[in-house]
């Protein structure tokens, strides 16, 4: 017998009117952020992924490789701590921490306020580390030019098929911690296939944030 499935209907979980006006307002603010970034010649990349997928570690590796070529700033989103911002600051770039409290994603308003804290005239490239979550950030564009998803093999073999929406707007996905694929029993090529099935044009790269393996490929995939 097949498993019985109860699906939520549209508008059943959220008050749909409230949600629509919220998303519309976010979209307006995202466009404002984009205009501001473009007026200062800044390219922004929104980095999304679960807690523990390795977003901060990969951003550090990317910053280390690009900081002589570009002037870089980072906005680090988190619920309550400054752990990520402190780690990235070790690379000697401008970092702003955004704490969202209970919110599971950054929004365009918070990013707009963070942009006020950055000397944008001195920045070419901005990385925005979103809050560790695979669901909420997808619906909230921030004004970034590109979105990248970091996933880790430690999240198991089904994490891509279970979170399709986060990949839709992304230009690239990093499959991180590839050294742990075997002990985790995860087939990396299956994860790659799953991502391409959701979005055929997405660039998929294999990375190990600790050793830096694949980080150059990720930089290429981001097109910076």
Positions touching Mg ion (CB under 5 A) are 55-56, 84
Length of the chain: 224
Pick 34 or 105: Cβ nearer Mg ion? 105
Q: Which long-range contacts (CB under 8 A, 24 or more apart) does 98-102 make?
A: 100/131
**Which residue's CB is nearer to Mg ion, number 47 or number 195?**
47
| Unique residue bearing structure tokens 């959701």 | 198
Q: Smallest distance, Å, CB 192 to Mg ion?
A: 23
Q: What is the CA radius of gyration of the chain?
A: 18
Nearer to Mg ion, 34 or 132 (CB): 132
Q: Which residue number, 34 or 60, has a Cβ lying nearer to Mg ion?
A: 60
List of residues 6+ apart from 62 with CB closer than 8 A? 127, 215, 218, 219
Write down the least CB distance from residue 113 to Mg ion, Å: 20
Closer of 29 and 44 to Mg ion (Cβ): 44
Nearest to 191 by CA among 218, 152, 221, 223: 152
Least distance CB 88 / Mg ion (angstroms): 9
Q: How far is the CB of 137 from Mg ion (least distance, A)?
A: 13
The number of helix segments (H) and strand segments (E) in the chain equals 9, 7
Residue that has been written with the tokens 């990520």 in this structure: 84
Rounded to the nearest whole angstrom, what is the least distance from the CB of residue 39 to Mg ion in the complex?
29
- Residue with nearest beta carbon to Mg ion: 56
Is residue 93 within 8 A of residue 66, CB to CB? The reply is no
């Amino acid at each position: 017998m097949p498993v019985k499935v109860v699906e939520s209907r549209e508008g059943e979980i959220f008050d749909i009117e409230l949600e629509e006006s919220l998303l519309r307002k976010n979209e307006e603010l995202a466009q404002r952020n984009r205009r501001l970034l473009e007026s200062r010649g800044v390219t922004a990349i929104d980095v999304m992924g679960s807690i523990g997928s390795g977003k901060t570690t990969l951003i550090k590796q990317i910053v280390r490789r690009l900081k002589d070529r570009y002037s870089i700033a980072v906005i680090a989103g988190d619920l309550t701590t400054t752990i990520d911002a402190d780690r990235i600051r070790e690379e000697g770039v401008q970092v702003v921490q955004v704490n969202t409290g209970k919110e599971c994603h950054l929004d365009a308003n918070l990013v707009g306020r963070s942009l006020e804290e950055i000397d944008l005239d001195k920045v070419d490239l901005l990385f925005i580390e979103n809050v560790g979550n695979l669901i909420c950030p997808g619906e909230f564009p921030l004004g970034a030019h590109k979105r990248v998803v970091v996933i880790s093999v430690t999240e198991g073999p089904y994490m891509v098929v279970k979170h399709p929406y986060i990949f839709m707007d992304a230009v690239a996905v990093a499959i991180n911690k590839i050294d742990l694929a075997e002990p985790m029993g995860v087939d990396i090529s299956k994860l790659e296939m799953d991502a391409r099935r959701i979005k055929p044009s997405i660039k998929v790269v294999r990375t190990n944030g600790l050793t830096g393996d694949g980080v150059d490929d990720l930089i290429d995939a981001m097109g910076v």
